[in-house]
């Protein structure tokens, strides 16, 4: 493991404790769906290092969501729609968790299935 | 790898203040490695501490970027100061943890080596220990002897068994040596007596 990969992985893990990061929301989604950064990477069609970089980015705010997602997607050469879908799903899970609502993995997996159907 | 120049720093700081979603990633890309190098060089800390402290410092800044005032100095200086504090905090925290572990292990060592736990494992050893008990009446001496017979060489463990409360390490060491020599003489005399019998 190179030095950069070493600190990047640590930084991404540390980002999961910061509420303003994408990593915070992705960690909630990962926990709920029982998946890892490898699955996120597969979904975004990128490598795990890109998911780690993504984790330390600021989560797009509701008021300029599209603009922020485009900027992030452009920076890391990601598909805008895939990224927007993932961030929306992660934000929804986190919002429900924050509001004290119980969330079920099935509900969000079903939501993702619908999202996938919409894409195809 | 070096810190970005002051112009690049100011631009990055402004992007962070403006809520640029990618700016935090750029901050990490440009600052983690120079920060780690500075910490290893200035504080001679290990790589893990340098890495974790650098990362913590950047997250501290990102959580409240307005705490940095560009009129007061460079961003790299500000971040290095935070990171250095983090290193010191980590070293203090680790030292306290090691101290707690040592205290616990000395306690466990003393308990595990208690005479009736180790010496009575065989009938012969039990008989021999009985002879020792006849000539050594003091409970602390018995405990220390059991430790010595069990191969214990730690000054700390013997000092604790003997109830030595010296103010300095040297005094403690001398006191333990004095007691150890005394106990070894008792054992020698007992050995001679048993040989004669």
Chain A positions with Cβ closer than 8 Å to B: 3-4, 6-8, 10-11, 14-15, 18, 20-21, 53-54, 56-61, 68, 71-72, 75
Per-residue pLDDT for A111 more than 80? no
Contacts 24+ apart (CB under 8 A), B183-191: B183/B136, B183/B141, B183/B144, B183/B145, B183/B148, B184/B148, B186/B135, B186/B136, B186/B141, B186/B145, B187/B132, B187/B145, B189/B135, B190/B131, B190/B132, B190/B135
- Within 10 A of B53 (CB to CB), how many other CB atoms are there? 25
User: Which pLDDT does position B117 carry in this prediction?
Assistant: 55
User: Which of B12, B19, B24, B27 to mutate against chain A (most A CBs within 10 Å)?
Assistant: B24
Residues B66-76 pLDDT 10s: 999 999 999 99
- Percent of chain B at pLDDT > 90 equals 42
Q: Looking at A43-47, A81-85, A99-103, B141-145, which range is the least confident one?
A: A99-103
Per-residue pLDDT for B149 more than 80? no
Using 50, 70 and 90 to split pLDDT, how confident is the model at B108?
low
Residues A85-96 pLDDT 10s: 999 999 999 888
User: Which of A6, A7, A49 to mutate against chain B (most B CBs within 10 Å)?
Assistant: A7
pTM of the entire structure?
Answer: 0.65
Instruction: Establish if B109 touches chain A: CB-CB under 8 angstroms.
Output: no
> How would you label B162-183 residue by residue, b for 16+ Cβ within 10 Å and e otherwise?
bebeeeeeeebbebbeebbeeb
Cα gap A89→A91, rounded to integer Å: 5
Q: Which residues, at least 6 apart from B142, have a Cβ–Cβ distance to it below 8 Å?
A: B115, B132, B133, B136
User: Which pLDDT does position B2 carry in this prediction?
Assistant: 93
Mean pLDDT of all residues in B144-156? 75
3-state secondary structure of A58: strand
| A14 interaction partners in chain B (CB closer than 8 Å) | 52, 55-56, 59
Mean pLDDT of all residues in A53-74? 96
Contact predicate B34/B57, CB 8 Å: no
Instruction: Establish if B147 touches chain A: CB-CB under 8 angstroms.
Output: no
The two three-digit tokens of residue A58, written as one number: 């600021």
Per-residue pLDDT for A41 more than 80? yes
Per-residue pLDDT for B150 more than 90? no
User: Which pLDDT does position B79 carry in this prediction?
Assistant: 98
Per-residue pLDDT for A117 more than 70? no
Contact predicate B175/B166, CB 8 Å: yes
Chains A, B: CB contacts under 8 A, how many? 54
Tell whether the torsion through CA atoms of B38, B40, B41 and B44 is positive or negative.
positive
Residues B2-22 pLDDT 10s: 999 999 999 999 999 999 999
Cα gap B179→A11, rounded to integer Å: 54
Using 50, 70 and 90 to split pLDDT, how confident is the model at A104?
low
Mean pLDDT of all residues in B33-42? 94
CA A13 from centre of chain: 13
């Amino acid at each position: 493991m190179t030095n950069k990969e070493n600190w990047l992985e640590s930084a991404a893990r540390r980002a999961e404790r910061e509420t303003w990061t994408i990593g915070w929301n992705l960690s909630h989604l990962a926990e709920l769906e029982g998946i890892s950064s490898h699955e996120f990477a597969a979904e975004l069609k990128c490598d795990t290092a890109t998911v780690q970089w993504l984790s330390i980015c600021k989560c797009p705010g509701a008021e300029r969501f599209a603009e922020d997602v485009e900027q992030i997607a452009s920076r890391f050469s990601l598909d805008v729609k895939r990224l927007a879908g993932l961030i929306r799903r992660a934000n929804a899970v986190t919002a429900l968790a924050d509001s004290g609502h119980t969330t079920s993995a099935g509900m969000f997996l079903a939501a993702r299935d619908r999202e996938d159907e919409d894409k195809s | 790898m070096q810190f970005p120049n002051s112009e690049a720093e100011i631009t990055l700081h402004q992007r962070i203040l403006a809520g640029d979603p990618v700016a935090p990633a750029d901050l990490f890309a440009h600052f983690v490695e120079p920060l780690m190098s500075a910490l290893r060089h200035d504080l001679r800390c290990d790589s893990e501490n340098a890495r974790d402290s650098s990362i913590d410092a950047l997250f501290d800044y990102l959580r409240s970027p307005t705490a940095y005032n560009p009129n007061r100095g460079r961003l790299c200086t500000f971040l290095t100061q935070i990171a250095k504090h983090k290193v010191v905090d980590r070293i203090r925290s680790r030292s306290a943890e090691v101290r707690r572990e040592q205290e616990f292990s000395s306690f466990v060592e003393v308990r595990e080596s208690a005479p009736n736990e180790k010496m009575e494992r065989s009938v012969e050893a039990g008989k021999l220990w009985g002879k020792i008990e006849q000539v050594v009446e003091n409970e602390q001496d018995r405990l220390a002897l059991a430790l010595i017979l069990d191969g214990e060489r730690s000054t700390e463990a013997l000092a604790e068994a003997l109830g030595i409360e010296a103010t300095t390490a040297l005094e403690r060491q001398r006191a333990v040596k004095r007691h150890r020599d005394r106990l070894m003489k008792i054992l020698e005399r007992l050995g001679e007596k048993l040989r004669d019998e």
